[in-house]
A and B are shown apart, each in its own frame.
Chain A
Amino acid sequence: MLLSCIKNENRKLHHSVIWLACVFIPIIPAVMGTGNYQMNLEILHDGWYSLWTQFSLFYSLFFFPPMIGLYAAYLWRLEHFNHNWNTLMTMPVPEIDICLSKLFVLCKVAVITQIWMMILFFLCGKYIGLPGGIPIDMIFWSLRGTLAAFAIGSCQLFLSMVIRSFAIPIGIALGGGIVGMLLTAMNSSYGFFWPYALMFMGMNANKSANVLSGTMAAYLISNVFFFVLFLGIVLFILKKKDCK
């Protein structure tokens, strides 16, 4: 049943504008981050590491959470239209399958976005003549960021389910990103308690040295906690609440 649900969710994304966001948005930090790197070569000496700071800063700080919000809002939008909630809830499909299928598709799009971002990073690095390949550190940071994307995805899936407006959860994601930045600026350990802060902690945004050295376990626990927490809330609401 879960596989059928995933197939259905994938079919809803066929010819969807969501791919435009997935492809187009990461190009902006790629082009502008590389341009900024080129203009500041006198202070940026660390090659791939310096380019990473320019790439990841705004991308993971402010824009990745709203992008995840956009994906989640799109996945629930169809259910909020017409009487689709009634149709969905009266189908002989367990709530957990509905929930997991949406989450699976959301995570899939997030992973594709991250892969595309890394391809752009490699291409931009090569274009400006950086030697060798992408250092393994950055691939690891990107994977860490993807884990955070799953936790944020779970949170956004919850918000987009309970808020019928398409736009509001996306605004909340931007706000969440900014609050996350302020929290981690106050004290880096505060970030573990705020899902939107996990992304740029994991991505090592604007830093060449690993910011999570020694706290990797806390980071992983935090990601799993938020992922399970919001998934649990979504499931609880689907099981207990009636359609409105």
Chain B
Amino acid sequence: MKKALYNEFYKGRHAYVWAIPLAFICITILWQIFCNQKLTSEQLAYGYTYLLYQFPIMNSLMMPLMIAVLASRLCDMEIKGDTIKQLYTLQSRKAFYDSKFFHEAFFLLLFVIGECAIICLCGTIYHYTDNLNMTAFGQFGAVTFVVGLVILMLQHFLSLRFTNQILPLIIGLAGSFLGLFAMFLPHTVSRWIIYSYFAEFQTAKMYWDANTREMWFTPLSFPYVKFVLLLILGVALFIISQKIFAKREV
């Protein structure tokens, strides 16, 4: 497995895959530069809380398509080169499927680390006056990575399953759409849309008074049971997709 993973990194060394999370990190930085212009003392007082509220919403929009692009970029090299049959003579199907997935997950992890770093940097650069709640911060990082992994499992499977990469990307694009719109839907509906789960696990709830134009936040208790269920769903999805892929004739 270690060797298979090393091979994946070796194959992708000139593919500039790191540029995908980096580009989205740059967009996030731009977004923050725009949002942090001329902050009032009240806004500085809930700076970190607002970021922990805002980032999951941004992730619902950006991450499904970013993950689809990431998975497609790495899987498409095998499809274009028609190398899968050849690879199966050199390594087990399971090792191939897993190593490619972990390779993609590595770039996802880089993106999550980048986002966490942006939150910390924003606080330092713009001098937020509230304290960063480390529990909420950890929960944000864990949720972003785990939800991203579950979506990545789906995209990874689709990108390897279909030789035409347009289909996985249509699903990724539709996922971004659904994730964003699901936030406006009743909770009973949005809970069935996995793409909306970045926002589903938000650590704070925002209130807005249109008359006084005041904004305030209340902390939300973290739904640990739901998070564990999501983990189980992720593992189940991975095992099922791996088995389906392994049985497939190439």
Residues of A within 8 A of B (CB): 16-18, 20-21, 24-25, 28-29, 32-33, 35-36, 39, 58, 62-63, 66-67, 70, 73-74, 77, 80-81, 165-168, 170-172, 174-175, 178-179, 182, 185-186
A185 CB contacts on chain B under 8 angstroms = 34
The reply to whether A171 and B34 contact each other, CB–CB distance below 8 Å, is no
A166-B181 contact given A66-B65, A178-B27, A178-B31, CB 8 Å threshold: no
Least CB distance, B105 to chain A, in whole angstroms? 17
Chain A, interface SS category: helix
Contact sample, A vs B, 12 pairs, CB 8 Å cutoff: A25-B173, A25-B177, A32-B177, A32-B181, A58-B177, A62-B180, A81-B80, A165-B73, A166-B169, A167-B76, A179-B27, A182-B31
The reply to whether B72 and A25 contact each other, CB–CB distance below 8 Å, is no
Cα A73 to Cα B165 in complex, Å, equals 10
B70 CB contacts on chain A under 8 angstroms = 167
| B23-49 contacts to A (CB < 8 Å) | 23-24, 27, 30-31, 34
A36 CB contacts on chain B under 8 angstroms = 181, 184-185
The reply to whether B65 and A174 contact each other, CB–CB distance below 8 Å, is yes
Cα A21 to Cα B66 in complex, Å, equals 18
Least CB distance, B164 to chain A, in whole angstroms? 6
The reply to whether A21 and B170 contact each other, CB–CB distance below 8 Å, is yes
Least CB distance, A72 to chain B, in whole angstroms? 11
3 closest A-B pairs (Cβ-Cβ)?
A: A32-B181, A167-B72, A171-B69
Cα A20 to Cα B83 in complex, Å, equals 28
Residues of B within 8 A of A (CB): 20, 23-24, 27, 30-31, 34, 61-62, 65-66, 68-70, 72-73, 76, 80, 164-167, 169-170, 173-174, 176-178, 180-181, 184-185
A170 CB contacts on chain B under 8 angstroms = 65, 69, 169, 173
Which of B80, B173, B185 interacts with A70 by CB under 8 Å? Answer: B173
The reply to whether A166 and B165 contact each other, CB–CB distance below 8 Å, is yes
The reply to whether A186 and B170 contact each other, CB–CB distance below 8 Å, is no
The reply to whether A32 and B73 contact each other, CB–CB distance below 8 Å, is no
Cα A235 to Cα B6 in complex, Å, equals 40
Most B CB contacts (10 A, CB to CB) among A20, A77, A171, A179 go to A171
The reply to whether A58 and B181 contact each other, CB–CB distance below 8 Å, is yes
A32-B31 contact given A166-B166, A168-B73, CB 8 Å threshold: no
The reply to whether A25 and B174 contact each other, CB–CB distance below 8 Å, is yes
A167 CB contacts on chain B under 8 angstroms = 68-70, 72-73, 76, 165, 169
B177 CB contacts on chain A under 8 angstroms = 25, 28-29, 32, 58, 63
A77 CB contacts on chain B under 8 angstroms = 165-166
A29 CB contacts on chain B under 8 angstroms = 177, 181
The reply to whether B176 and A63 contact each other, CB–CB distance below 8 Å, is yes
